[in-house]
Amino acid sequence: MLIAKNPEGKLVSALETELNREENYRCPGCQGRVLLRQGQVMCPHFAHKSLQDCQFFSENESAQHLSLKAVLYKSLVNHGERVCIEKVLPELGQIADLFVGDSLALEVQCSRLSQKRLRERTRAYQQVGYEVRWLLGEDLWLGQRLTGLQRDFLYFTVKIGFHLWELDWKREEIRLKYLIYEDIFGRVYYLTKTWPLTENLMTILRFPYQAERVETYQVTQRKKVSHVIQRELMGKNPRWMRRQETAYLKGMNLLSLSDQDFFPQVRFPESKQGFAQIRLAVDGFEKLFMQYYRKRHFSYQQTLYPPTFYAKIIINRHN
């Protein structure tokens, strides 16, 4: 943790240069005694004196987590933002890694947590009218597939579609992965944008709402899809077993479908229980998306656009 209470009850930050090591510092969450520590790898920080259950601060905070919080804090302060580091929110029983202005919480998430916990913490913020942006550390970066947990970190705007935020500790960069789409085999496709953490973070976080340029990219459709599915079914892939079952119930067989029938192979990411961070109804956009491709001639090349593009095209067609 980077914040503690000094004997006068004032909050002090370990990032300040002139702190007295011998002072009697306390945890702002549980009021337990904490010590100022400074190591070779870790930036200066506070740690509970005795290992105890503090419901606010975990004791095994990584160097990555500490230093990312510190870098983000300094950057926000340098750009004139009103920001609190490790703000205790007693009404929620939790701590925001950073809290900007009156209603934006930034969470630097470096370790895996359960989807249940993520949903609880997100809902707690939403219920009191706070926005929360989860910024993901290395262990949670998006690779070629979306894990269940990563689906719950996805945001959605009409300008850049599904997206998520990543923090790169070593390069001191923030990365946006956007226009995220997923093919029927679970592979993800996206565009990436990177900013140094010294730039104005609030401007960067507004990008998903303000992006003006319509960006696109192309993906190639797999050929002989039914052969690929046949292999998946022989390997007892549960996803395809389930889909084949659903198809049977409709009197269909996936193995007798043509490549045209599977077009477009790249689609909106799916979530059975709904996306935790997304409050906008995405199914309307998903329908427009599917309509757009189904009305086009089949091609092995598929061009992906932002959701707003599909909405405009389809609505214009109807006028």
CA distance linking residue 229 with residue 249, whole number of Å? 18
Query: Which residues within the stretch 154-213 sit at the binding site for Zn ion (CB under 5 A)?
Result: none
Closest CB to Zn ion among 79 and 87? Answer: 87
CB of 99 to Zn ion, least distance (A): 18
CB of 235 to Zn ion, least distance (A): 49
Closest CB to Zn ion among 57 and 275? Answer: 57
CB of 91 to Zn ion, least distance (A): 17
Contact call for residue 44 and Zn ion (CB under 5 A): no
CA torsion sign for 116, 118, 122, 125 is positive
CB of 54 to Zn ion, least distance (A): 3
Q: How many CB atoms lie within 10 A of CB 136?
A: 21
Closest CB to Zn ion among 30 and 228? Answer: 30
Cis peptide before 264 (omega within 30 of 0): yes
Stretch that binds Zn ion, among 27-35, 81-89, 193-201, 224-232 (CB under 5 A): 27-35
CB of 48 to Zn ion, least distance (A): 6
Query: Which residues within the stretch 272-301 sit at the binding site for Zn ion (CB under 5 A)?
Result: none
CB of 95 to Zn ion, least distance (A): 10
Binder of Zn ion out of 30, 42, 124, 228 (CB under 5 A) = 30
SS3 5: strand
CA distance linking residue 103 with residue 171, whole number of Å? 28
Stretch that binds Zn ion, among 22-30, 70-78, 133-141, 208-216 (CB under 5 A): 22-30
Beta strands in the chain (DSSP E): 3-5, 11-13, 25-26, 33-37, 45-48, 83-89, 94-100, 104-109, 131-136, 155-157, 161-168, 173-183, 188-196, 217-220, 266-267, 301-304
Query: Which residues within the stretch 230-269 sit at the binding site for Zn ion (CB under 5 A)?
Result: none
Beta bridge partners of 195: 174
Residues in contact with Zn ion, shown as a per-residue x/- string from 45 to 84 under the rule CB under 5 A:
---------x--x---------------------------
Residue in the structure block whose two tokens are 């029938």: 261
Residue in the structure block whose two tokens are 């990008």: 207
Chain contacts with Zn ion (rule: CB under 5 A): 27, 29-30, 32, 54, 57
